[in-house]
Amino acid sequence: MLCWARCASATAVLVLAACSNGDEDLPLFVEPDTAVSYELTIEGAPDEEILSLLEQSLALSRQQEKGAQSLAFLRRRGEGDVATAQKIMRSRGYYEASFDVAVEELPPEEDEGTRAEGAEAEELEEPETRAIATFTVNPGRAFTLTSHRLILIDSGGAAPDPLEAAALGSPVGDAAAAAGIVAAEQGAVAELRRNGRPYATFRSRDAVADLEAATLEVESIIATGPFYRFGDIAFTGNPSVEEAYLRTYVPWEPGAVFDVDALKAYQTELFGTGLFSGASVSPPDDPPESDSVPILVTLDEAPFRTVTLGTRYSTDDGPAVRGSFEHRNLFGANETFGVTLEAGLEEQILGFTYLEPQFLRDGQDFTAGLELRHIEDDAFDEIGGTLTVGLQREVGAHWIIGAGGLLEASLLDEGDGDEEVYLAGLPVFALYDSTDDTLDATRGQRARFSITPFAGLFDSESTFFTKLEARGSAYQDLLGDRRFVLAERGRIGSIVAADNDLVPATRRFFSGGGGSVRGYQEDFIGPIDADNDPEGGLSVAEAGIELRARVFGDLGVAIFTEAGVVSDDALIDLSAGVQVAAGLGFRYYSPIGPLRFDIAFPLNARDVDDSFQAYISIGQAF
């Protein structure tokens, strides 16, 4: 029994630290004339995971490309790797592992020993020393974790319910892997902090190994700290933002049991307002004497005003510029006012927007907008404006739904003289977005569904119609490193009208152009009139696929193909002519988003279609 106790004591410390990647500090020597290049073989690893860790961590592997100064130096490097390998093996439950390091010099290759350039004929270059280093793992038995007790102390009152290590991820009954043991300890602390114990901490760990049975028993000591409920909230660093607005995002009720996850959720909400460059939500460093814990919110306000300027170019529309101004926190509660101006050769659009968050209830926004337009293109000429108001609400993590109203007045010319248009509409929409980036998505999906009934006057006649439309896109990161991305998109729409002639051109469907089917002129897919001008239609369908690749640093390329059809009927009529295009793009991934140059060619061009179109813009095509 005494002998067993001594053996157990010798192995009572469980090594749970992360494996070191550093090499030993070595004295500096002048590199000898003959260096050593070597091949490395790692033998005996019990599984691929451990082999991979050894390859990543051993200095023999990490320094292989640099070679070694001498064979003796190479042996010393391998012997220094034993401690690192031992940590790796113990972290996976192998406490008896041993290691052998062998270095064998290889004979020179036959083509070595060539003449040195400029040297005397008798003098030859010394051949480089070549060697093979073999690092052998003798894993021994994998120890089994037979028990893992979580001992809760310092509760400061009523003790919490016991915690089971196995339920928190500890590998009880399996190999005594350190990662699972540590994960269970961290999980226990997190569980306590989610249930009223904000000051729970891990204290220590004791482990005893039975060398005869190859088993391990672990006890983890966790101090729970006192039990608390949420107390008052104190804000600092928000001189321009009203506290009443910030409190609307608090996810817990007054007096609720403390939950650290609620603090994280609140911090995320504060960041999501866009008003702060920094936000911290936490209890005080020292436990309070009362049974409620105050919450300290420390904020760092970000600039509230933003000015942007951009440009785009296409061979169809020519150059265009876009400028915008946005003021967030207009009245102290994150009210956002924006002005945008787009000016091109054919279109000039001035827009005003207003958004008030947390309107009447959490997660609900009030929106309003006014757009003034002057358009002169092949489809129609318009001078008009649209006023919109509405409510939109977040539903879950990715959905936004909304509804509202619009009033529109315009003077429209489709080639037969001016026609007055007065419309009222009730738009309803649902928006889904799970992508990882607005300008350059690499994973996730986007979708938008909308339905808008319209009523009004068109050329002095009453008109009633309903417009339905759905758009979607999906993105796949093919290798998981954002270098190769496959992107797909689709669009489908229909207008239900009693009389097709009573749908103004401004509300019909068009297809073609840089934001649609590249390779065709803007709006030119679909019916064409006698003057070779697009007429638009009552239904539309589009599809596209694009492969994006980063080929060198911030430079990338893309290949794509897209197709679209517009027909006069409310239901899609493919016999109206599906137009198909393909193209090649180049990308520069700048800090403000990808700069895009695309050139696209129609594959079944009609007489009215150009042979190609080129586009320059910021952001991906979709």
User: What pLDDT shows up at residue 238?
Assistant: 94
Average pLDDT over residues 12-25: 40
Tell which residue, 490, 499, 622, has the closest CA to residue 568: 499
User: What pLDDT shows up at residue 507?
Assistant: 95
User: What pLDDT shows up at residue 125?
Assistant: 52
Average pLDDT over residues 538-559: 95
Least trusted range by pLDDT, from 34-48, 237-251, 391-405: 34-48
Say which DSSP state 175 is in.
B
How do residues 473-491 score in pLDDT, each as one tens digit? 999 999 988 999 999 999 9
How do residues 566-576 score in pLDDT, each as one tens digit? 999 999 988 87
How do residues 114-159 score in pLDDT, each as one tens digit? 444 444 444 445 557 899 999 999 999 999 999 999 999 987 767 8
Tell which residue, 103, 104, 85, 87, has the closest CA to residue 44: 85
Average pLDDT over residues 420-439: 95
Bridge partners of 594, per DSSP, are: 589
pTM attached to this predicted model: 0.74
User: What pLDDT shows up at residue 113?
Assistant: 46
User: What pLDDT shows up at residue 367?
Assistant: 98
Q: What is the mean pLDDT of the chain?
A: 89
Sort 29 into a burial class: Cβ within 10 Å, 0-12 / 13-18 / 19+: exposed
Sort 279 into a burial class: Cβ within 10 Å, 0-12 / 13-18 / 19+: buried
- Look at strands 593-602 and 364-376 and give their pairing: unpaired
pLDDT greater than 90 at residue 247: yes
DSSP characters over 322-381: EEEEEES-SSSS--EEEEEEEEESSEEEEEEEEEESS-SSTTEEEEEEEEEEEEESSS-E
Grade residue 417 by pLDDT with cuts at 50, 70 and 90: confident
Phi, psi torsion values for 260, nearest 5 degrees: -65, -30
Least trusted range by pLDDT, from 2-6, 339-343, 580-584: 2-6
The answer for residues whose C-beta is within 8 angstroms of residue 530's C-beta and 6 or more apart is: none
Tell which residue, 214, 212, 190, has the closest CA to residue 202: 190
pLDDT greater than 70 at residue 30: no
DSSP characters over 392-408: EEEETTTEEEEEEEEEE
Q: Helix (H, G, I), strand (E, B), or coil: what is residue 159? A: coil
Q: Helix (H, G, I), strand (E, B), or coil: what is residue 620? A: coil
User: What pLDDT shows up at residue 9?
Assistant: 34
DSSP characters over 584-613: EEEEEEETTEEEEEEEEEESS--TTS-S-E
Q: What percent of the chain has pLDDT over 70?
A: 91
Contact 403, 425 (CB under 8 A): no
User: What pLDDT shows up at residue 110?
Assistant: 57
